[in-house]
Structure 1
Amino acid sequence: MTKQNLASQEKTRKKSGDNRSLLITAAYKLLAQQGYEATTVKEIARVADVSPGLFHYYFDSKEQLLLEVIREASDQYKRTMAQLRDEVPRQNLTEAALARTKERVAREPEWFRLCYELYALGMRNPGLLPAAGELLERKRNGIAKMLQAIAGESSEDGQSSWDALAALLLACFDGLALQKLTQPDFDLDAAFQLLYELVEPRLKSNEG
């Protein structure tokens, strides 16, 4: 095989990855802005600047694309929080983790809109209910890992002791974000400060 053929194949491979990323980025924006029902495959392809036919090359359906969008965004945030655990001293980790979560409401409101969209779709569409449950489980597991790190437990210690608190914190995070998005004047800072004051003593008492 010639060098030109190899170069051409590499260019095609990179372009293929770019097209998929462009579709996911476009879908993230449109689904968050307009909702699942109002967003069409044709519109996603137009914003991504790819042909509608390519959409079905990468994704079987709009439903599959929604799940890929949410999984990719969730994985990216998981990596961000893992970096936070590695870089921030344990004694400051509770405050830093809550601050990062609060900041996400302002920086990435579309993420929360997408989550609410999937929750609502799951309630109406039994086929999407497992995906909504998967998203909630991924969120709980991420919070539990952070609680483990704050308490000084290793990942081999398991997460069962933190599952209940992780579930409560997830309900707080999603609920507070919803209040801020629907009521821009809602005092998110005060709510997170009180949450910190409630949670920090419990975590201190469980430090290893």
Structure 2
Amino acid sequence: MSEGQVVNRRQMLKDAAIELISQHGYDRTSIKEIAKRCDVTVGVIYHYFSSKEELFDEALRGYCSEWESIIPMVKQLPLEDGLVFIASRLIDKWRKQQNFMVILVGECVKNPAVHEIFSRMLVEAREALGKYVEMKMETKELSRANTQIILNIFVSHFLTSFIHKEQLQIPIVPELNEEFIRSSVRTMLDGWRGQVETE
């Protein structure tokens, strides 16, 4: 089997694991069901992964990291445009990964493995965004402020809005379109700048 076929088979197994876990939950998804979905034997899965935990962990990790590619794209943009781009890109990614988001919402509280991966995803987001915000403070586009508060507001707002609107389908939450994203970013920037001015 060629290296490309190995990579494709590993990805097929990971995709099936994500799909089944999003439908039935982690505890009710077995290696046997994943094998059946992929039309392979259980032994094939154990050839690539030592356990369901390893398969699941690797599958989720693949959904988490995009920050290294996003931040360089926005370094030269004005702060508002950069933050709008980042938020839009995140929401677009979450929409394309609905199964992943279902797992986060449904499994994060009760499954330590999912909780750890979600925590790591937030850490990666905070580190990358923190560097971006610090850079914008250095260039005086944003006054010096508490970076951790800025990151909490930004990430939490868009993640919560996405979950409420597109996962839980709460009708009073506005559509997550360009107007909503830009208005959110402007409100945040006004608040951050106002906080610094009153200190």
Question: Cα offset for 1:167?
Answer: 3.0
Q: How far does the alpha carbon of each residue in 1:164-202 deviate from its partner, in whole angstroms, 9 at most, with x for none?
A: 332343332332222111116431337645531232236
The SS at the match of 2:85 is helix
Alignment of 1:166-185 (within 5 A): 166-180=151-165, 181-183=167-169, 185=171
Partner of 1:7: none
Q: How far does the alpha carbon of each residue in 1:90-124 deviate from its partner, in whole angstroms, 9 at most, with x for none?
A: 442011112222333433322211222441233xx
The SS at the match of 2:190 is helix
- In the alignment, structure 2 segments of 5+ residues that lack a partner are 138-145
The structure-2 alpha-carbon separation of the partners of 1:137 and 1:95, relative to structure 1 and needing over 3 Å to count, comes to same
In 1, the alpha carbon distance for the partners of 2:117 and 2:152 equals: 13
Is the Cα contact below 8 Å between 2:84 and 2:181 reproduced in 1? Answer: no
Is 2:31 the counterpart of 1:45? no
Candidates 11, 31, 37, aligned match of 1:21: 11
The sequence identity of aligned pairs, in percent, is 15
TM-score of the pair, normalised by structure 1 = 0.70
The SS at the match of 1:120 is coil
Is 2:121 the counterpart of 1:135? no
Partner of 1:106: 95
The structure-2 alpha-carbon separation of the partners of 1:108 and 1:12, relative to structure 1 and needing over 3 Å to count, comes to closer
Is 2:183 the counterpart of 1:197? no
In 1, the alpha carbon distance for the partners of 2:131 and 2:190 equals: 15
Is 2:174 the counterpart of 1:187? yes
Is the Cα contact below 8 Å between 2:129 and 2:151 reproduced in 1? Answer: no
Matched positions, count: 183
- In the alignment, structure 1 segments of 5+ residues that lack a partner are 1-10, 123-127, 155-160
The structure-2 alpha-carbon separation of the partners of 1:94 and 1:170, relative to structure 1 and needing over 3 Å to count, comes to closer
The structure-2 alpha-carbon separation of the partners of 1:13 and 1:98, relative to structure 1 and needing over 3 Å to count, comes to closer
Is the Cα contact below 8 Å between 1:59 and 1:65 reproduced in 2? Answer: yes
The structure-2 alpha-carbon separation of the partners of 1:152 and 1:79, relative to structure 1 and needing over 3 Å to count, comes to closer
Is the Cα contact below 8 Å between 1:70 and 1:114 reproduced in 2? Answer: no
Task: Considering fraction of residues, name the structure with more helix.
Answer: 1
Alpha-carbon RMSD across the aligned residues, in angstroms, is 3.2
Partner of 1:64: 54
